[in-house]
Structure 1
Amino acid sequence: MTGAASISRLVKKSFLGAYLEDALTLFEAGSFLAVIHQPDAYALAGTAGPAAHEDLLQRFADGVIPAPHTRELAVEGVVFGWLVLDTPSHAEASALDFVARSLREIISRELLRRGLGAETLEQYREVALLQRAVGKLNGSLDVYQVAHSLLDECMATSFPADHALVLFLDDASRTYRIVQSAGSRELPYAERIAQSRLFSEVLANACWDDADGEDTLASERMVKGEIVNDLTRDPRWDVDVPEVSRMLIVPLATSRIIHGALVMASGPSSRPFGSGHLKQTTTLATVTGIAMANAHHFHQVQRILMSLIQSIATAIDSRDTLTSGHSQRVARIAHSLARAVSQDRREFPDFAFTEMELQEIFYAGLLHDVGKIGVREEVLTKATRLHPRKLELIGMRLELWGAMHQREWTDLFERLQAINSAYDVSEEDEALLYRLANKSIAIGEATIEVLSADELSEFLTPRGNLNAEEWEEIKRHPAESHRILENIPFTSHFPRILQIIVQHHERLDGSGYPAGLEGDELLLQSRILAVADVYDSLRRDRHYKKALSQEMALAILEQEGRLNKLDARVVRVLTGALESVEHAEAPEPRAFGLGSPVDHP
């Protein structure tokens, strides 16, 4: 038996252990329940019952555990592990079946949740491409400029194409002609592409059936492109165009009109086109068709974009299970805290937000971490200062040093392991690290340091687990959020939303990022969002620390206020209204139109 996937990647060990403990009550006293998975070799993902079962994995691997005592945990044909019952007498089949069915359902639900997150993230990436293209392609109503902008976007994206062409339909001659082209070199006889049966049929498939004398929209065929990765095998390729063996064709169309086509072509040495390329070019072609039609369609696209804001926030958070729901919570806390600030006549006697300003803060909270889409996943989910493989290599050097000098080394390595996962580095830890950095191993004429300068630097990260380079990557995300969102027309009702987002990691004393702003340079809305963001981060588990209690989180916020990092007035408002802030409902979501806000669809 071999598992195709691991249950430990889907279900936390603590949850699995507690679940098995509950399930153990269904069986005879002295029984032992275990879930076995196979990441590299058979391993225990969770257990419940007596501890003396060290040989269980070996017995399972050897196939000596009776078949009635095991159940395969498979979902949709994929094996995630096995449920094993070790019992003094006979297996209780119905109870074991029940436990196995429950575990399969848990696995199935987790797979569904993760699949929805991945699907939403993919939708976001497509929407991000669409949003960027909208800004470029709708900058002009001149069709030639639109075509030029389309080709610029195509060549800037990693498509495996040597040439990109835009062809428009000439109304007079009813033939297609090239109006813009781009590529690494000239493409001889490119105009022959439009003379091929392949080109004609692809565009015909984007037309509408008029059999009943009316224009009936065949929506499933609208803007439908095609990929041919071997033109020599396609009988529709009935023309000779040197240097072209692969082609991607996407019509440029609006609701009832075919305007032209985007063609991407390459030679046999290029990578084949894939479905992702077709999806991206179809997106670009759709936006181009909209730009060629009128600005009204642009308004519709913006409505679609903004209706996905909630999903975007969920997609960003779903990259890391520990931050799941962070953007939603921060938006809700910031919105409620801003309302409390408006109502607090002691700390803010002359200030009150309008309802639109409160809505603006809510959406800023939803979108404040959009820029993390550009942060590597290994940085977002990093749990230790050094990668486990690096620490293992240090352990090998330390063991070699101990053997050569007849010194005990295991205690030293255990301390390194503790330092690697600790949130802070103590003076004692720092002294130990410097001592180890001065130790070396002589092998012939070569000298190997037990702890290299780079490794020492990573270990000495004062707080958290990110090295200087990784921290700089994280610090770019507010500015990246601004870059991603700046082309979305948030309307005159939300003029400060981008400023709020880009400032949410700034601090009053100038120690924040990305711009090191201070004091009155920071909007009050940004200060509120900063307090909400820090509070939620403190109250939730992170890879480098456990969640703090409400009291400890408030104590840290108050300390940050005394140090003039966070706004002490906002912190005091939060402390005084904490229960109402934490349990407040999120406002009714709205979409951003080009004019007045409209109800969310």
Structure 2
Amino acid sequence: MTTGLPLTRLLKKPFLRSYLEDALALFGEGCSLAVIHTPDSPVLAGFAGPADEETLLSRFVSNSTDPDSIRELTVVDTVYGWLLLDSCDGAPHPQLDFVARSLCEIMQREFVRRGLGAETLDQYREVALMQRAVAKLNVSLNVRDVALALLGECMATSFPAQHVMVFFRDEENEPFHIIHALSTRGVEYAQRIAESRLFTEILAHDSQNAKAGDHHGERTVKGEIVNDLSGDDRWDIVVPGVNKLLIVPLATSHMVHGALVMVASEDSPTFESSHLKRITTLASVTGIAMANAHHFQQVQKILIALIQSIATAIDSRDRLTSGHSQRVARIAHALARAVNRDRADFADRVFNEVELEEIFYAGLLHDVGKIGVREEVLTKASRLPAKKLDLIGLRLQLWAALHAREWQELQDRLQAINTAYDLSQEDEDLLRQLARESFTVSGRTMTVLGEDELQELLTPRGTLNAEEWAEIKRHPQESHRILENIPFTDRFPRILDIIIQHHERLDGSGYPAGLAGENVLLQSRILAVADVYDSLCRDRHYKKAFSREKALAILEDEGRLGKLDPRVVRVLVDSLDAVERAQAPEPLVFSAG
């Protein structure tokens, strides 16, 4: 058996020529030594002595050389060449065996040295590939980003493939679906490969190996090359132009997460074991990166579900605020997109997708702090409770009887004032008048309205007294305190600031910090407009829902007074139909990096 490796790689020509000249001293005068190898056809690798080189080579090719004068030069059962002796006397020369053994020993040592060098180089290349792959494939905790990075690594290395694709599955029993491809064909063509028995069995075999090796804590990841699909009975589909496949599972010790598939046509070079080795190295890193990304995204989905549940739970404490946080999040997100499109006042400010996502989640969570507000405060429908108003009614009737006055109309007005959203000057005058009206019973003088009752009823807007209002005003800080322990990652660096500022006003009249002007984030101004708009358009215990026109008029007034940002209000007015039609964005994961 001969090999395609040239003998001259193991015996350098200058050395061989010098060695043969020295070896001639072991033989009689007139002898010649030659070493012949066959890189393509027999040629002389080295020669020493008086014989004619061409004649000696010709005799070897024609098999006319005395077999006793030829020795094979063999390394590891492979013939690399032959040592020839041309002797004038034709006598046996046992020295030839010594020379041949010496040359074989020299070749053996060079073979080992070259093998160690090649192995070291392969290991270095594999380590270098591993390091580069680890750096590039672990940049993102997003499965699609990992797949795209894998394709980039494949393109950076020369592979005989026309098409490269990455398949993934979310759970072990789910089908594989394509998530990225470098191909001139459509996804349907790519997806058909995953439906073949060849694809299924390679990845199923890997899964069985994994289960069998669970007690060792390791997974056997084995890819496969098929350079002639027509000869493989597992290829049970027909895809024109697909004749060669390289399939490598993307796996960890617990699960096959996906597969990298390379496709080549019939006239393309064949896939080799070196290709499979490099891809397997990339696959080992990719499998771990995909598993990390998948697990991270699963955790984030749980976190998002928790966030949505928290928002729903807060809103559900009061039937009239049910869905408020979801609506505010949707409106704020759509309004921020409308701000992006506005070139009149916001030409120099455009929110990117991550910032838009941040505004959406800020809207979902903006009222989380209300978990610490008493339910009787959240659902307070009147300035005074019904029992206290009934007591005032009894005093009013007694006062009217003693002074021969009509009382029913006054009681009706008190009941209306008790639940009114705003007080008119006429209402305020009436309350102060009733607080001055007194009567005496059994020697005790009392007023129709006590001082505490008067102050409660004089609440200018809404139904909350000063103490209750102070309790409500603490909810942005409570939201911040609760949410600061949630790992939003660096993706949402301002979400807590947006939330804590959503009740700040540009004129400094807001809460909790009384921030003003540019100290209030634009995101918080957008959230504030969305929050006020939804509150105005919905029934509350202290008021009925306003029409869209009335709600917008109130927002515009707030803008003119310097409380809400008038530019954001204008954008809402101009794009209200689009904002209200906008759907909530799909739940997104908080990708790292």
Larger radius of gyration: 2
TM-score by length of structure 1 reads 0.48
TM-score by length of structure 2 reads 0.49
